[in-house]
Structure 1
Amino acid sequence: MEILSNPNAWVALLTLTFLEIILGIDNIVFLSIVSGKLKEEDQPKARRIGLLLAMAFRIILLFGITWVMSLKDSFFDFDWSFVSGGISGQSLIVFGGGLFLLYKSVSEIHHKLEGEEEATAGKASNSLASAVIQIALLNIVFSFDSILTAVGLVSAAPAPAGFGPAGALEIMIAAIVISIVIMLIFAGPVSKFVNEHPTIQILGLSFLILIGVMLLAEGSHLASIKFFGETEVHSIPKGYLYFAIFFSLFVEFLNLRMKKNARKPVQLHNSKIADSKLTDDDLMN
């Protein structure tokens, strides 16, 4: 009750909630792309599972924040002629997540543009399980990066009067729950919009490539990688990345608005929603 009556706590809650929603955009994009290849009745289930997993991973990591912060300690140092650094648990998780995100994004672009169908009869029964596994793997990385960012923000800010570390933990958990509830509400419409517009799909996958590169730079920075003993790898500020994402989406929304009554856009492969809208006349043309 003391926390609820503290105006500083409400400001912190709103700030962290907004931060979690912004950091969850990449999660929503990945969920939309992965769930878009499932049967239409399985798509809401995959999105719910994905977002609930994201919430669970974030809360678990918050309760194990001491363990998370201990992963910054290097367990393997190297100093070769052209590169040096120290590999830590944090750098390994973030760097590995960046590699996986790059691989998955490029693979999805290839399948959609080159026309390779994945929804075969042999894979149909395991498609939901496969999607959940992919979502879970990426959620671990996204949750790890989100918690590190949130903890860094809280640590950098002066402690508000009236609540200590325990109160800060409760506020971060509340922010995570609120942000996930908001994303659950809007996940369906966002996924439908993404899967109905091919350019948005490709833009979303391009954003995931950018985020993958950001994670690679972040992992290298956490490992204090230096080339030739002088040039250190720096992390990419998230503000630049998300500005590019929002600006690109704004331009594309303008394009969609202007071309609303123009000819039908090209249909990408492996999109259940897009495929279901093809009529016999479309196929004849």
Structure 2
Amino acid sequence: MEGLFTFENLFTLGMLIMLQAVLGFDNLLYISLESKRVEPGRQSSLRRWGIGLAVALRLVLLLLLVKVLSLFQDTLFAINIEGLISGDFNLHGVVVFVGGIFILYAALKEISHMILLEAGEHVERKPSSYAYVLISVIIMNAVFSFDSMLSAMALTDNYIIMATAIVAGGILMILLADHVTEFLKKNRMYEVVGLFILFLVGVMLLSEGSHVSHLHLFGYEVTPMSKSTFYLVIFVMIAIDVVQSRYQKKLLAQAGRLGQTD
């Protein structure tokens, strides 16, 4: 036990906690948007329970990865259609690929709903089942966590350090979840940006799952979207939205002053 509190282990723990915080951004955004599907009075409860149970599931998955990592890398099935598509799909690739499809579907569904509302169509949305949304949050949290768990395993083989980082990341997400949701509620324009970020997350997961499965389309290998590219696109999207909103406010203020002079 004394060997745990070495400088190397403490440094690794700090690195893993920062990694959990960075990689958990898209996860937190998904939870905040998904929780809006239940009744308003139960949304905060769903976020806390969803993150808490997801952390427990992460710990179990991490233990499985440590013990039976080869099972996640072994080929489940292969596809080989000459000149069209080929790939060797393993459990890791399938989970990430399916998760990407689900995220794309969820993001596109919400975006289409917002477009319908903008067009003047009043669509009554009944609250979804609490249990259904909770299970969705837990499952997608597990999908999001694959990258962070594999990255953690690349930094250390100490389960206690990895588990501590996961728990710390979960506590941080619980503390921030309500604030993120409240911010999106007060700044609806950023909700649109958030949905497009989720769409990008889906694309990134699809590319990652394809890469892990060594997928080739029309003879070309599918390469994963790099994290640096992903965060750069997010930064550009947010920057454009901030500049556009401020410019729009300036134009409205100028129009108001012109109206008063007339």
Interval of TM-score (by shorter of Structure 1 and Structure 2): 0.7 to 0.9
1:48-96: CA deviation from partner (whole Å, max 9, x where unpaired): 0121122112111111113344221112223221122211111111111
Unaligned segments of structure 1, at least 5 residues? 156-164, 264-285
Unaligned segments of structure 2, at least 5 residues? 253-262
TM-score (norm: length of structure 2)? 0.84
Q: For residues 91 and 190 of structure 1, do their structure 2 counterparts lie closer, same or farther at Cα, with a shift above 3 Å needed? A: same
Q: For residues 247 and 6 of structure 1, do their structure 2 counterparts lie closer, same or farther at Cα, with a shift above 3 Å needed? A: farther
Counterpart selection for 1:203 from 193, 202, 205: 193
Counterpart selection for 1:223 from 207, 213, 235: 213
CA shift for structure 1 position 245: 1.8
User: Which residue matches 2:166?
Assistant: 176
User: Which residue matches 2:125?
Assistant: 119
Q: For residues 190 and 227 of structure 1, do their structure 2 counterparts lie closer, same or farther at Cα, with a shift above 3 Å needed? A: closer
Q: For residues 206 and 5 of structure 1, do their structure 2 counterparts lie closer, same or farther at Cα, with a shift above 3 Å needed? A: same
CA shift for structure 1 position 117: 3.2
Match runs of 1:4-15 below 5 Å: 4-15=4-15
Counterpart selection for 1:213 from 203, 215, 218: 203
User: Which residue matches 2:225?
Assistant: 236
Structure 1 window deviating more from structure 2 (79-88 vs 15-24): it is 79-88
User: Which residue matches 1:131?
Assistant: 133
Structure 1 CA distance for aligned equivalents of residues 180 and 206 of structure 2: 27
Structure 1 CA distance for aligned equivalents of residues 203 and 243 of structure 2: 27
Structure 2 CA distance for aligned equivalents of residues 243 and 144 of structure 1: 22
1:250-284: CA deviation from partner (whole Å, max 9, x where unpaired): 55456667777997xxxxxxxxxxxxxxxxxxxxx
Asked whether the equivalents of residues 207 and 245 of structure 1 are also in contact (C-alpha less than 8 Å), the reply is: yes
User: Which residue matches 1:245?
Assistant: 234
User: Which residue matches 1:79?
Assistant: 80
Structure 2 CA distance for aligned equivalents of residues 8 and 260 of structure 1: 51
Structure 1 CA distance for aligned equivalents of residues 38 and 217 of structure 2: 44
Please give the root-mean-square deviation of Cα atoms over the aligned residues, in Å: 2.4
Report the number of matched residues.
246
1:152-204: CA deviation from partner (whole Å, max 9, x where unpaired): x326xxxxxxxxx3xx2111111111111111111111110012222211111
CA shift for structure 1 position 32: 1.1
Match runs of 1:1-285 below 5 Å: 1-65=1-65, 66-82=67-83, 83-115=85-117, 117-120=123-126, 124=127, 126-151=128-153, 153-154=154-155, 165=157, 168-229=158-219, 231-253=220-242
Supply the AA of the counterpart residue of 2:78: D
Structure 1 window deviating more from structure 2 (188-197 vs 131-140): it is 131-140
Q: For residues 63 and 220 of structure 1, do their structure 2 counterparts lie closer, same or farther at Cα, with a shift above 3 Å needed? A: same
Structure 2 CA distance for aligned equivalents of residues 127 and 39 of structure 1: 9
Supply the AA of the counterpart residue of 1:141: V
Supply the AA of the counterpart residue of 2:193: L
Asked whether the equivalents of residues 54 and 142 of structure 2 are also in contact (C-alpha less than 8 Å), the reply is: yes
- Report sequence identity in percent: 33
Asked whether the equivalents of residues 53 and 139 of structure 1 are also in contact (C-alpha less than 8 Å), the reply is: no
Q: For residues 61 and 254 of structure 1, do their structure 2 counterparts lie closer, same or farther at Cα, with a shift above 3 Å needed? A: same
Q: For residues 96 and 183 of structure 1, do their structure 2 counterparts lie closer, same or farther at Cα, with a shift above 3 Å needed? A: same
Supply the AA of the counterpart residue of 1:25: F
Structure 2 CA distance for aligned equivalents of residues 253 and 223 of structure 1: 38
**Larger helix fraction of residues:** 2
User: Which residue matches 2:260?
Assistant: none
Asked whether the equivalents of residues 218 and 234 of structure 1 are also in contact (C-alpha less than 8 Å), the reply is: yes
